Amino acid sequence: MVKILPYSRQGLPAGRKYCYGIACMVALSLAGCAVTPEPFTQHENSQRASDLLERYTADQEPVTAPIDLYTAMARAIKYNLDYRVELMETAARLQQLDVSRYDMLPRIVGSLNYNGRSNDAGSVSQSLLTGKTSLEPSTSSERESLAGDLALSWDVLDFGLSYVRAKQKADEVLQAEENKRRVVQRIVEDVRSAYWRAASAERLMARTQQLEERTQQALDMAQRQKANHLTSPMAALSYQRELLSIRQQLQQLTRELKVSKQQLAALMNLPPDTEYSIVVPARDLAWESLNMSYDDMLHLAVMNRPELHEVAYKLRSNEMEGTAVLLQTLPSLRLFAGANWSNDDFLYNSDWASWGAKASWNLLNVFRIPAEQQRIEAGGELLDARAQALTMAVATQVSVSRARYALRRKELETAQRYLTVQSSIEHQIEAGYRAESVSRQTWIREQMNTVVAEAKLDVALADLQSAYANVYTSMGIDAVDASMSADESVAELAGDLRHLWAGRGDALALAGDL
C-alpha cells in the first residue's frame, strides 16, 4: 500500500490542471450557446410578403374565355389553396409511412473511436492475502488508439412494434384521404352555389343598370311634377314611394348575387382584380325530383361519408394499439453480429468478428396491461359514440337536404310562374304606353317589377343549385371521379367533370351548358 501512494500523488497536480481546463471549456461553450430572440427585420418581412404574393397565384392557366360551371369546378380542383393543403397533408402522411417502414429493418451501425491520454495507462497488482505489490507497473494499451467496428443488430420485439406502428401510419394516410374528400366536396358545393349566383348577377347587371337610369329619371320627373303642382302631392309621393320600394327590393336581391363573382374567383384562386366573364346558363332547364327513397339515401350516406370513414379508420388503429401493448410486455430478443478492428499494437488480434444474442424482459410492463387495456377500451367507446353521433347528424343532413331540394323546386316553379305573369303584365302596359293610354311612369314601374321577378327567379334557381349540390354532399358522393387528376389541363378536367355530372342527371351538363 505504501508503494502505491507516490504514483497517485504524482498524478494529482496534472489531474487538477485537466479538470480546470475542461471546466473552462464547458464555461466557454455554454456562453457561446446563449440564444436571444431575433425578430424579422422590415426588409425580411417585405421580401417574405413579395415572395408569397408572387407564388400564391403562380403557375395557373390564364383565363382566356368565359367560365362555365365545370370550368369553374376544374379551376377550383386544380388551384384552390385549401385543396392543395390537403394534398400536401396526404403526401406528408405518405412520407411518414415510408419512413416508418425502415424501422422494421435490422440496424447496421458503424463506429470509429479515437482515444488518447497524456501518460501511460499503467497498473500494478496487489496480493489479496499479503497486501504486497506483486508486479511492477505495466501497461497493456497505447497512449493513443484508433478502433472501429461495423455491427448489425435486430430486435425481434422492435420489429413487431414497428410493424404495428406502420399499420397505424397507413390508417393515418387513409384518414388524410378522407379529409381531402370532404374538402373537395365542400369546395365543389361552394363553387356550384357561387357560380349560379354570379351567373344570375351577370344576367341582371346590364338590365338593372339601364333600368336604374330610367327609374332615376322617373323619380326626378315625379319630383318636378310635385314641385310645379302638375299633380297632387300625395299622388307624386305615393308614386315615388312605390318606385323606391321596388328599387330597394331589387337592391336587396342583387346584393348577394353581385358578391358571388368575387367569391367564385376566390374559390378558383384567381386574383381579386381578375376580369373574367361567366357563361350564363338558360333559366328553363328541367330539374327533376329525387328518384331515391330516404332509406336508400341514408344507407348510401352512412356508407360513403368521409367523416364516418375517418372514425372507422381511427377505430381500427385503436384496435391495433391493443396488439402494440401486448408486444411491449413480451421479452425482447436482440441478435447482433459485427466486425471489429483496432490499431493498438498491444493487442494480439487487431481485428476480429463478434456475435451474440441478448434477451431482456421488463417485468413491470406486465402490471401495465390492465390500465392500458382500459385506456384502449375507453378510446374505442369514445370513437364508437362519435360514430353514432355522426350517424345521427348524417341522417338529419340527408333528411334536411332532401326536403330542402323539394322545397327549392317548388319555389323555382312559383318564381317561374310569377315571372311569366309579370312579363305578360309588362307587355300589356308597354302596349298601352305605345298607344299613349298609359303613362311612362307606370311602364317604368312594371319594368322594375319584371326585373325584380327575374331576380327572384335567379335567386330561386341559385338556391336550387345549392340544394342540389348539398344532396350529393350529404350522401358522401364524391364530386370528382377517382380517375380524374389535378395534373390534367383545365379543359380536360372540365370535360371529365361535365361527363360525370351528365351521368348523374345534371340538367346543365345534359344541356351542354347552352
- pLDDT of 165 > 70? The answer is yes
Domain count, the chain: 1
- Neighbouring CB atoms inside 10 A of 389's CB total 11
- pLDDT of 337 > 80? The answer is yes
Whether 461 maps to a domain, the answer reads: yes
- pLDDT of 11 > 60? The answer is no
Whether 383 maps to a domain, the answer reads: yes
- Cα–Cα distances in angstroms (integers) from residue 410 to residues 195, 308, 404, in the given order: 21, 32, 10
Say how far apart CA 140 and CA 368 lie, in whole Å.
48
Q: Per-residue pLDDT averaged across 188-204, rounded?
A: 86
Burial 403-425 (b: 16+ CB within 10 A, else e): ebbeebbebbeebbebbeebeee
Whether 219 maps to a domain, the answer reads: yes
Instruction: Work out the mean pLDDT of the chain and round it to a whole number.
Output: 82
Say how far apart CA 72 and CA 197 lie, in whole Å.
13
Domain of residue 329, residue span: 82-104+155-333+366-479
Q: Is the dihedral of CA 73, 78, 83, 87 positive or negative?
A: positive
Q: pLDDT by residue (tens digit) across 49-63?
A: 777 777 766 677 888
Q: Please give the angle made by the CA atoms of 230, 231 and 235, to the nearest 5 degrees.
A: 160
DSSP labels, 240-286: HHHHHHHHHHHHHHHHHHHHHHHHHHHHTT--TT----B----S---
Say how far apart CA 420 and CA 437 lie, in whole Å.
23
- pLDDT of 128 > 90? The answer is no
Q: Per-residue pLDDT averaged across 289-307, rounded?
A: 90
pTM of the model: 0.75
Whether 404 maps to a domain, the answer reads: yes
**Predicted local confidence at residue 229, as pLDDT:** 64
Q: pLDDT by residue (tens digit) across 238-271?
A: 777 877 777 777 777 667 667 888 888 888 988 8
Cell of 419: 315571372
**Predicted local confidence at residue 242, as pLDDT:** 75
Q: Please give the angle made by the CA atoms of 401, 486 and 496, to the nearest 5 degrees.
A: 65
Q: Please give the angle made by the CA atoms of 113, 118 and 124, to the nearest 5 degrees.
A: 95
DSSP labels, 452-496: HHHHHHHHHHHHHHHHHHHHHHHTT--SS-TT--TTS-HHHHHHH
Q: Pick the most confident of 60-69, 212-221, 420-429.
A: 420-429
DSSP labels, 311-377: HHHHHHHHHHHHHHHHHHTSPEEEEEEEEEEE--TT-S-SEEEEEEEEEE--GGGGGGHHHHHHHHH
pLDDT greater at residue 416 or residue 36: 416
Tracing cell 305578360 back to the chain, one arrives at 424
Q: Per-residue pLDDT averaged across 481-498, rounded?
A: 84
Whether 123 maps to a domain, the answer reads: no
Distance of CA 477 to the CA centre of its chain: 19
Name the band, by pLDDT with cuts 50, 70 and 90, for residue 231: low
**Predicted local confidence at residue 390, as pLDDT:** 93
Whether 70 maps to a domain, the answer reads: no
CATH number assigned to the domain comprising residue 97: 1.20.1600.10
Q: Please give the angle made by the CA atoms of 192, 195 and 198, to the nearest 5 degrees.
A: 150
Measuring CA to CA, which residue among 63, 85, 58 is closest to residue 74? 63
Burial 237-263 (b: 16+ CB within 10 A, else e): eebbeebeebbeebeebbeebbebbeb
Say how far apart CA 78 and CA 187 lie, in whole Å.
11
3-state secondary structure of 123: strand
Say how far apart CA 27 and CA 21 lie, in whole Å.
10
Cell of 5: 501512494
Q: Per-residue pLDDT averaged across 30-37, rounded?
A: 68
- Cβ-Cβ contacts under 8 Å for 201 (sequence gap 6 or more): 254, 257, 258, 260, 261
Which residues, in sequence order, are bridge partners of residue 207? Answer: none
- pLDDT of 445 > 50? The answer is yes
- pLDDT of 1 > 50? The answer is no
**Predicted local confidence at residue 314, as pLDDT:** 92
Q: pLDDT by residue (tens digit) across 381-402?
A: 999 999 999 999 999 999 999 9
Cell of 66: 368565359
Whether 47 maps to a domain, the answer reads: no
Whether 143 maps to a domain, the answer reads: no
Residue percentage of the chain with pLDDT more than 90: 18
Which has the minimum average pLDDT: 41-45, 56-60, 298-302, 494-498? 56-60
Which has the minimum average pLDDT: 120-124, 229-233, 282-286, 309-313? 229-233
